[in-house]
Structure 1
Amino acid sequence: MGAVRPRKVILLVVLGALAVGAALAYARYRRDLADALLRIATGSEVAQTPCGPVEYAVVGEGPAVLLVHGAGGGFDQTLDAARELAASGFRVIVPSRFGYLRTPQRSDATPAAQADAHACLLDALRVPRAAVIGVSAGAPSSLQFALRYPQRCTGLVLLVPMAYSPGFRPSPRARLIEETIGSDFAYWLLARGAASTIMGTPAGVVARADDAEKARFARYALQPLPVSERREGLLNDLTVVSNLQPYEIERIGAPTLVISARDDLWGSYQGAIYTAQHIPGARFVALPDGGHLWIGHHREVMGETAAFLTANARCRAARKRRRGPRSPGRCRSKARSGGRRRCSLRRSGWPARPSDRGCRRRSGGVRRGRKHEAQPRP
């Protein structure tokens, strides 16, 4: 009897500890969920458009940039990036795509239909044209926008794009997420316990990162809360990225920048290479590591993006000035161009690497310099 009693005591202690741990975990979940609900309750508006209601936020002033979020997003996912770009002098428009937050899901929620919704939002905001940044699962509709509205797309940036490449295989992580997005608490447990898996970033990369990058990683892991408000959009994204289709991207004429990391566990790297190779003159920046959230390279990625957008905006402004009385500028006429003036992104401050040639616009179309670090076409 004496031996049985200590075992019962130990069992009760263990059960009590588990109960306390569960209570503390649930309390932490409730705090995280409350923070998430507060975050999405403010800072956005809903535009009534011919394409249906579209939720959006606007940050900053200057040339327009449409920042298209990835899977699990909503306008709140990319607000931090929007603020960084706004500090560089841009008006950043951040929509919630179909099925996310206050933008309802549609029966025809294809990337092409989503691109039309992007155009409808710009119409509602009286924005005639914009540069477009597609992040992760936001890439398909961004590519479609560049194809369907070439006169409105002033530039294209694709960050860790979920884009077609021959032989692409969907990540098994998609199934894991699909099984957990039915419950906010289930997703929270996954985000707290297996964040590197769902964020597509190797755990070792996060472990080696500085405190600021670790904090950014933690914010992104919890950002999909409440997942119940994003479930339809996330399921649609999982369907789209599991069945990526080749587009006629050779027809894209907008200056293009593509960035991805070699160790992206969501597999964006090969699609990024393929896309950069097939969009005429696109520039490709390969990160050696960093995963799907480019951990450890945030300043580089945002710096490349801001420099590209700034140089592109300067080129467009110079061309606009040339339509009026002749004035000195970065774009000069050349006799060998047959009297046509040329605008170079390099002269406007991009790319930073002197070995990369800038983009040149002629009256007959767009000619841009060689790709950076892109592998040869097969």
Structure 2
Amino acid sequence: MKKRKVILIISGILVVLAVVIVIKFNLELKKASERFETYQNKAETVETSYGRITYIDEGEGEVILSCHGICGGYDQAYDTLSDKTDNYRVIAPSRFGYPGSDVAENPSIDSQVETFVELLNALNIDKVYVLGTSAGGAVAIKFALLHPERTKGLILYCSGYPAIEKPDNEATYVGPPSAICYDFPMWFFSPLFGPLMGMDRDTIGLIMPLSERHDGIVLDAKIANTDMDNHYEKYDMSKLSVPVLIVHAEDDKLADYRKAALWSEKIPNCTFVSCKTGGHLMTGNSGKIDEAFNRFIHAD
């Protein structure tokens, strides 16, 4: 009897705990969905030869094309520069597989670049500053290499970088497993964001809902996060003919600071803004970054 009673008590505790977890998850998902809806209301869509692309276009002034990172979308691409729309025009599209954007038949980095070129053509925009964050760095770098005539400058913000030399092993998948790239699993593991990624647990509210991001995350893990190593020779930034601004924190756990520092010495016209702390989101460095950002764009 005592054993049965203990089992019943433990079962009751587990049921209560499960109910609490479900309630907390649903509340957070609801809040995140309401947040995302405000961005959906800003978004526009165009058809390209690579499929549908959805973007936010806001602000006036010099145009900045924002290439978001993994787990992103047009909302995060916009958020990166949302405080700058009084002075700049921000074009913030979703990359392949992210909210509102299709997956091209050949979803390569080059195809993503050409999709962005078609988007700019549709908006009658000739030249832009291209900004790449995290996994979006691959697209931003390739855009500047393939289309210097469309690029006023390249800004790499806590970005990934190409390998300096050929790696020993080919990368096949670099990112979260597909199975956890859904709302509940990602939310459940979000307390590990700090120790694993150096990001606050509350960051989960910026990437949910994940239903429209899943395909993009998997594509980034297979392509964007591997291509700059596996095909490093196609990302030789020493051949860049446009001005480059690199902003990176030494304690970034997701994007290699050492690569940022090494490439800053190889790029012909490069400004390197190094921050001691801030992690992958560059927390606490807004003043320093804004000053460098404005000086870079208004250098002429």
- Provide TM-score, normalisation by structure 1: 0.70
- Contact 2:175-2:218 within 8 A present in 1 as well: no
Assess if the C-alpha contact under 8 Å between 2:97 and 2:216 holds in 1: yes
Shift in Å, 1:91: 0.6
Task: Identify which range, 299-308 or 59-68, moves more after superposition.
Answer: 299-308
The amino acid that maps onto 2:277 is D
Secondary structure at the residue paired with 1:194? helix
Structure 2 matches for 1:1-378, cutoff 5 A?
Answer: 5=2, 9=5, 11-38=7-34, 39-40=36-37, 41-87=40-86, 89-166=87-164, 174=174, 176-181=176-181, 183-191=182-190, 193-197=191-195, 200-201=197-198, 217-240=200-223, 241-244=225-228, 245-246=231-232, 247-309=235-297, 311-312=298-299, 315=300
Aligned length: 290
How big is the shift at 1:278? 2.4
Cα distance change on mapping 1:295 and 1:178 into 2, 3 Å? farther
User: How many Å separate the matches in 2 of 1:272 and 1:251?
Assistant: 16
1:177 deviation in Å? Answer: 4.1
Q: Determine which structure has more spread, i.e. the larger CA radius of gyration.
A: 1
- How many angstroms does 1:285 deviate by? 1.7
Give the distance between the partners of 2:292 and 2:161, measured in 1 at CA: 20
- For residue 238 of structure 1, what is the amino acid of its counterpart? A
* Conservation of the 8 A alpha-carbon contact between 1:59 and 1:82: no
- Cα deviation for residue 189 of structure 1 reads 0.7
Deviations 1:210-255 (A, max 9, x none): xxxxxxx445333222222111111111122134232132221211
Q: Does structure 2 retain, via aligned residues, the 8 Å contact 1:115–1:141? A: yes
Q: Is the 8 A contact 1:85 1:306 kept in 2?
A: no
Distance 1:131 1:291 in 2: 24
Residue by residue over 1:139-164, the C-alpha shift from the partner in whole angstroms, topping out at 9 and shown as x without a partner, is: 11111111111111111100111111
Residue aligned with 1:274, SS: helix
Give the conservation status (yes or no) of the 8 Å contact 1:165–1:274: no
Q: CA deviation at 1:52?
A: 2.4
Calculate percent identity across the aligned residue pairs: 26
Aligned partners of 2:50 and 2:104 also within 8 Å = no
Deviation at residue 100 of structure 1 after TM alignment:
0.4
Relative distance call for 1:224 and 1:146 in structure 2 (3 A) is: same
Provide the rounded CA distance (Å) in 2 between the counterparts of 1:102 and 1:237: 16
For the aligned residue pairs, the C-alpha RMSD in angstroms reads 2.6
String of CA shifts for 1:175-231, please: whole Å, max 9, x gaps: 5444411x321111112x212256x21xxxx6xxxxxxxxxx445333222222111
Contact 1:165 1:270 in 2 (8 A): no
Q: Equivalents in 2 of 1:47, 1:307: separation in Å?
A: 33
In the superposition, the TM-score normalised over structure 2's length comes to: 0.86
Task: Please state whether the residue corresponding to 2:81 is helix, strand or coil.
Answer: helix
Q: CA deviation at 1:62?
A: 1.2
Instruction: Please give the alpha-carbon distance, in whole angstroms, between the structure 2 residues aligned to 1:170 and 1:160.
Output: 23
Secondary structure (helix, strand or coil) at the match of 1:151 reads: helix
Per chain length, whose mean CA-contact separation is higher, i.e. which structure has more relative contact order (CA < 8 Å, sep 6+)?
A: 2
The 1:14–1:307 alpha-carbon spacing in structure 2 relative to 1, beyond 3 Å, is farther
Q: d(CA) in 1 for partners of 2:157 and 2:221?
A: 18
Secondary structure of 1:229's counterpart equals coil
